[in-house]
Structure 1
């Protein structure tokens, strides 16, 4: 299968995973809901890269907002979740390059997930400030932080476990190979 076709197929798969994780495990809150979608948003970024990962995460989570009846959040979700996946990939790639030790991949993923989740909390705070005012937006911070912590911990654990499973390992290897190739190209210059 060609690389572009593979990426499109895996993007669709991750969009579906994001949608299902966001819409199946839901704990409603006064403003929005708590869900597991961030786990797969982070995985999409780490596995598919900044472009395909962002598209998959954005479309999957935005579709979940539509399905769940939270259409008012869909525009923000589209932007925020896409940016989260891109940031997760970019920061993990930079840190892996700086760390240069395979055993510390989880540190790079943890820091990148923390940055992505901060972006989520801040992004929804800004959006909800427009919708509900500062007091209403402030009321949602705790729920978003809890969701972010859950996504960070579960995402890093799941990525670490998946990297050790032989049939699934190739998802991460392609993005890791890109980093190694860039290092080799820089060394040759």
Structure 2
């Protein structure tokens, strides 16, 4: 398999995995739900790098919101999960010798910030969306735990080898 075909195939697989992990297990909240899909978002960036991870995470997560009935969150999710994957992928590429945890936490904070700003715009209130911040962080931390467990077994699927 040539490199271009491999990239396209892995991107499609990670997009599907992100969609499934976001759609399969949902813990409902008054304004949405939390899920283990952030693990797939971070794995997308780990396996595909910043740009491939952005595409797979953004489209997979936004599609889960669209087909799950959360149409108002499609664009915020596209931006939040795409930026989360890009930041983690970029930090992994830029600082390959660092611990992967150092790259995941800025990505989770960026995702939480994007959701907060999006909800401020949607609700027209800066205080109301603060309720969702802990849940966004919890969801992100759950994703960090999943990637911490799975990154070593999945290391052989990485498109760009990075030393750890």
Q: TM-score, normalised by structure 2?
A: 0.93
Match of 2:160?
Answer: 175
Shift of 1:24: 0.6
SS at match of 1:175: coil
Shift of 1:128: 0.6
Unaligned runs of 5+ in 2: none
1:135-184 CA-to-partner distances (Å, cap 9, x unmatched) read 22101011111101111111121112323xxxxx1x12x311xx57xxxx
Structure 1 contact 46–53 (Cα < 8 Å) conserved = yes
Are 1:71 and 2:71 matched, yes or no? yes
1:139 to 113, 131, 148: 131
Instruction: Decide which structure has the larger Cα Rg and report it.
Output: 1
Q: Partners in 2 of 1:48 and 1:63 — Cα distance?
A: 19
Q: Partners in 1 of 2:104 and 2:31 — Cα distance?
A: 23
Are 1:157 and 2:149 matched, yes or no? yes
Match of 1:119?
Answer: 110
Structure 2 contact 49–93 (Cα < 8 Å) conserved = no
Q: Partners in 1 of 2:122 and 2:146 — Cα distance?
A: 30
The count of residues paired between Structure 1 and Structure 2 equals 162
Shift of 1:93: 2.2
1:75-123 CA-to-partner distances (Å, cap 9, x unmatched) read 01111111111111111222224x5xxxxxxx2x111111110111111
Unaligned runs of 5+ in 1: 100-106, 164-168, 181-189
Q: TM-score, normalised by structure 1?
A: 0.81
Match of 1:12?
Answer: 12
Shift of 1:39: 0.3
Q: Considering only aligned residues, what root-mean-square deviation do their CA atoms show, in Å?
A: 1.4
